[in-house]
A and B are shown apart, each in its own frame.
Chain A
């Protein structure tokens, strides 16, 4: 809530002519916007371009931002639209959003470097990368973006029920991908 109030205060300052304050808004949201863009583009350079484009578009439209919703939700909507536009432009190099055929395959964890095995979150990020762009974005928004199903739906142009179904489906896929990691831990718990 505090964060949201501060966001609104920063926006008001920018609208009142203190445009340098926008740098603070960028700094605050850049990691999330970049990660979300990366979920769609699957490529750091493209994701950075999309994220930059998103912040410039947000700046241009800042006057139209209805302060009834979270700034982050509004920003994620712009990120989604920018990512979709970028993907359409670069169609030959990109993957279908719902196509699982092109998904990144996880390496065989059993034969991988033991040091690599230590960092569970590396595997987790790889597992998320292997999901379809929509599913990866929903997982990221739900777990890291502190967004409700309705807010995610607004950002990704879907209704809340569709988001719920997709979230469930994505978690099932992630569970399968993380089976290797889970096996030992579940045994420990039992």
Chain B
């Protein structure tokens, strides 16, 4: 629950939709509690608009440029990274992995025997399992919807 002051700051900051803003405007006009807080806050707002930025010393810009001139000139990151180097490193590792794999296979002697794999899915797909699965799905759905609406509301 927002306090009157919070609601009015939101109104002054221009937050909320047109309906909420209109409702607040009416409250300020009709309700003295809201009206008096609004008058106070609007003056604070005007004073905050008077805020001035401080000025560094006259030599500030020159000092910064003196320091900057001792640095290596910056270049765009994309021009710094040569794609051929990246491809070369990737190729080296891929070839290395393939070579190790081939060597390992050539050194091994396989003896195979028949393996019987039989899985009975019906044993696992019990009603309790399906209900749990759906319940978790619904919770994930709610979490996703919550984050989606929250993001929309924030924007």
Q: A17-B73, A60-B71, A172-B5 are in contact. Are A181 and B40 (CB under 8 A)?
A: no
A19: chain B residues within 8 A (beta carbon): 68-69, 73
State which of A14, A144, A174 has its C-beta within 8 Å of the C-beta of B44: A174
Tell whether A117 is near chain B: CB-to-CB under 8 Å: no
B43 touches A186 (CB 8 A): yes
Q: How far is the CA of A51 from the CA of B75 in the complex (A)?
A: 22
Q: A27-B61, A34-B56, A34-B60 are in contact. Are A59 and B39 (CB under 8 A)?
A: no
Q: Which residue of chain A has the shortest Cβ distance to B55 in the bound complex? A: A31
Chain B at the A interface: SS class = helix
Q: Which residue of chain B has the shortest Cβ distance to A140 in the bound complex? A: B51
Q: Which residue among B41, B43, B56 has the maximum number of chain A CB atoms within 10 Å of its CB?
A: B56
Interface pairs A-B: 6 shortest CB-CB: A62-B74, A34-B56, A121-B50, A31-B53, A35-B53, A63-B74
Q: Which residue of chain A has the shortest Cβ distance to B73 in the bound complex? A: A19
Q: How far is the CA of A22 from the CA of B61 in the complex (A)?
A: 10
B57 touches A48 (CB 8 A): yes
A64 touches B65 (CB 8 A): no
A15: chain B residues within 8 A (beta carbon): 74-76
A44: chain B residues within 8 A (beta carbon): 54
A178 touches B47 (CB 8 A): yes
A190 touches B39 (CB 8 A): yes
Tell whether A125 is near chain B: CB-to-CB under 8 Å: yes
Tell whether A175 is near chain B: CB-to-CB under 8 Å: yes
Q: A19-B73, A144-B53 are in contact. Are A182 and B40 (CB under 8 A)?
A: yes
